[in-house]
Amino acid sequence: MSAVQETRRATDFDEDLVLVDRVVAGDEFAFQTLFHRYHDKVFAIARGVLLDAEEAADAVQEIFTLVYRNLRKFDKRSRFSTWLFRVAVNRSIQQARKRRYTKKDVPLELAEEAAFEVEFTEPGDPEVETAMSQLHPADRALLTLFYWDELTLQDIGESLGCSSNAAKTRLFRARERFKQQYERTVVE
Amino acid sequence: MRAPREIEELMWEVAEGGDQRTIDQFYSRYPEFADELEKRMQMVKTLRGSRPRKDVPSFVPRQSVRTLGPSRLAVAAVSLLVLASVTYATFAAMQFVNSQKTVRVEQPPEIVFNPPKFVQEDPRVDTSSVVEEYSAFQGPAVDERPEVPDIFMGKVTLQAEDISLSEAIVSIATQAGIEASIAPGFVDKRIRISCVEQPALSVLQELGQRFGFTAFKQGTIQLLIVPARSGDEVDAAGVPLKSNVSTAEAGSGNTKPKDDKEPDNEPPVN
């Protein structure tokens, strides 16, 4: 066996699968390790799609709960992270769509308090926030996976259930739409 | 100026790569899109810089996870409802189409109703044809009573060499269905008669002219024989001018021929 093949096999080896096997065997500490390893990326997805820090934090707990409960169903044909990101994207988009039709009536005092809290914990760019809020949740998920989680087109395609070329095309369109909204926001 | 898609994709790659050498090459090759590249580089930098950060909490599995999409039971119920609705709508549409096919009448048929007229039936009249006509409720209306055949004109045949006049009258009347009544004073006599398929009333009138009586119609079927004879009929010629009946008194040897060309030779009849 050549050295090139050995190197590729070592690269493709998913270290997460060891932790997955340990969790399935009953080692709950192993899942805490997975949680700490992917929390930021999953939170970035939820935050980018939902545009709300508290709601995103709540969604992260639900996403990892779903993964924890269904870990035995994971067939290991893909990497664990790909499966995890797919669950995160689908769950966040579902929640964003549902929230769009069930807007909550929040008293003004609570709304101001929540805004202050978000601003305190997340000093993100307001123009980016405004431009992102004008996009479709699926576009926000794409931009989040690419710019915040810095996934490759291959990983994005696997997470969204499409090819890398399709992911590239969809990413290009999402970027263009974001650019239009961003420039409009900056001008205003 | 909007750049072609290839240039736009290239600008995104250059902006995301951030390599200064690549950026310079792009500036030298596409100076007209330098501003666009600057915008994208600034946008990518801002976008990446706005990545949310949060301290990693501890994972506490939730007791229950919200169901965001419709439950499978709800989907099944809605699907069943939609299927039932579509089925019912299809059935109703088919019923409507079928009803339109069968009920559509271009022009209502003209119905002529001729109520049957009450006809007092004569027991001797065959009204079966009339009944059939009425039962059809159509066809020409029956405006008048059907013609009742005159029994006095019924054809009779009597040939006898020696028969009493009264028997001859009764025989003729019986053949025609006439109820003959002979009044008192009738003088009977023996006669010879020969008539074939002649109207009964004509035969009786001819006998009356020849043998001295008058036949009076009484109603529809009755006939009265009165032994009185009008003088005109007796004295003018003695016999009818036109006769199809051959009669004579029995034993006289005198027979009245059918031919009416010999009236002068006919002896007077008593």
pLDDT at residue A79 tops 50: yes
Domains of chain A in sequence order: 13-187 (1.10.1740.10)
ipTM of predicted assembly, 2 dp: 0.74
CB-CB contact of A153 with A111 (8 Å):
no
Rounded Cα gap, residues A183 and A181, in angstroms: 6
B118-174 pLDDT, tens digit per residue, is 555 555 555 555 555 555 445 555 555 556 678 888 888 888 888 888 889 989 888
Q: Is A98 on the interface with B (CB under 8 A)?
A: yes
Rounded Cα gap, residues A45 and B126, in angstroms: 108
Chain A environment of B62 (Cβ under 8 Å): 61-62, 65
A104-130 pLDDT, tens digit per residue, is 444 545 444 444 444 434 546 888 888
For A26: left if phi > 0, alpha if psi spans -120 to 50, otherwise beta; the answer is left
Looking at CA atoms only, how far is residue A31 from chain B in angstroms? 9
How much of chain B is helix, strand and coil, in % rounded to 5? 45, 15, 40
B36-61 pLDDT, tens digit per residue, is 899 899 889 888 888 887 788 888 87
Q: Is B6 on the interface with A (CB under 8 A)?
A: no
Q: Is A148 on the interface with B (CB under 8 A)?
A: yes
Unique residue bearing structure tokens 């970035």: A44
For B185: left if phi > 0, alpha if psi spans -120 to 50, otherwise beta; the answer is left
pLDDT at residue B247 tops 80: no
Q: Is B2 on the interface with A (CB under 8 A)?
A: no
CB-CB contact of A136 with A104 (8 Å):
no
- Percent of chain A at pLDDT > 90 equals 53
Looking at CA atoms only, how far is residue A124 from chain B in angstroms? 5
Which of B9, B49, B62 lies nearest to residue A172, judging by beta carbons?
B9
